[in-house]
Amino acid sequence: MDFVLMLVQLCREVVSSGASVVESSQTQDSITAVMVGGAVELSYSFSDVVSTVPLCDLKEAPNMALQAAFEVLFSAHGDLRFNEYLIELADLVRSD
């Protein structure tokens, strides 16, 4: 869920200011995003790779990551489908 929240923050900041740097709370790895035209360049503290993605695809990333995380989490712990924090997290991600 940490990664999903990182993506939400990254998207919000890129849309509002054209750039963002987010960091993982566990590993302190970071992702830097910079708007270039209608695309976003992503660079990573853990790799020399630079990715370029359309802004519309980046905006979809938090929801896609959340759905993938839920699939894994709920397959192991089905009872968490009714967890209030996770329900509110889903609302937060989908509202962006």
State pLDDT tens for residues 30-84.
Answer: 999 999 998 999 999 999 999 999 999 999 999 999 999 999 999 999 999 999 9
Structure confidence at residue 96 (pLDDT): 63
The whole-model pTM stands at 0.83
Helix/strand/coil for 28: coil
Read off the pLDDT band of 95 (50, 70, 90): confident
Pairwise CA distance, residues 12 & 50, whole Å: 20
Candidates 44, 1, 36, 38; CA nearest to 19 is 36
Name residues whose C-beta falls within 8 Å of residue 33's C-beta, 6 or more positions apart in sequence. 10, 13, 14, 19, 20, 21, 40, 41, 42, 58
Q: What's the rounded mean pLDDT across residues 11-15?
A: 95
